Amino acid sequence: DLGYADLSCYGAKKIKTPRLDQMAEEGMRFTDFYCCAPVCSPSRAGLLTGRYPIRMGINRVFFPNSKDGIDASEITIAELLKKQGYATGCIGKWHLGHLPEYLPTRHGFDFYYGVPYSNDMEVEKRGDPPLPLMRNEEIIEQPADQHTLTQRYTHEAVNFIKENADNPFFLYIPHTMPHIPLFVSKEFEGKSEGGLYGDVIEEIDWSTG
């Protein structure tokens, strides 16, 4: 949900993103990019497998009452790298099925920490449960405190990198933010000239650093 011009290196005036700007300066800038789907679940399926999501039968968004998810026959980049001796981690929003057989730990990831679907999917009148935060296949907090999600994802990611620094590793970090509803930690609240949205982006920039 990050917009093209929401980073200062792409023209944002009220949002400061020095770490992402540094990455753009020292690395490569992409000025033309296409995603295989405009919504969460299909686009993530395509990103992780390299296949068109329609070929996997994933052409819609999964909800907390969904009984399906990414099929066991699909091959993710994590599964390929794991076979080559990589440690694999997923930290953040998964959204390819929340039942045990669809979780990251069943699709090539050694470690998972995050929420299994979108952070707005806790609509009481629809029957949604409170948003769960998971470690591997266990719910460790429900409802998840979304104000601290970005910070906690970051600390988990740093720990994963430190633990695997001497060996090949693959770490996939699909941040929950800036999907709405927006939440930010106290450290970044009110810090941006871009309002709450700007605060959220600046916290993600800190996370990248």
Distance CA 124, CA 140 (A): 20
Q: Which residues of 157-180 are buried (b: 16+ CB within 10 A; e: fewer)?
A: beebeeebeeeebbbbbbbbbbbe
Expressed in percent and rounded to 5, the helix, strand and coil fractions of the chain are 35, 10, 50
Sign (positive or negative) of CA dihedral 45, 47, 48, 54: positive
Q: Residue 98 catalytic? A: no
Residues 119-137, buried b or exposed e (16+ Cβ, 10 A)? bebbeeeeeeeebbbbeee
Q: Which of 70, 146, 157, 74 is nearest to 111 (CA)?
A: 157
Q: Would residue 95 show up in a list of annotated catalytic residues for this protein?
A: yes
Strands 138-141 and 169-172, sheet pairing? unpaired
From the list 9, 36, 95, 155, the catalytic residue is: 95
Judge whether 64 and 124 are in contact, CB under 8 Å.
Answer: no
Instruction: Record the tokens describing residue 103, joined without a space.
Output: 């979780």
Task: Pick the catalytic residue from 40, 90, 98, 107.
Answer: 40
* Cα–Cα dist 36/161, whole Å: 29
Residues with catalytic annotation?
Answer: 40, 95
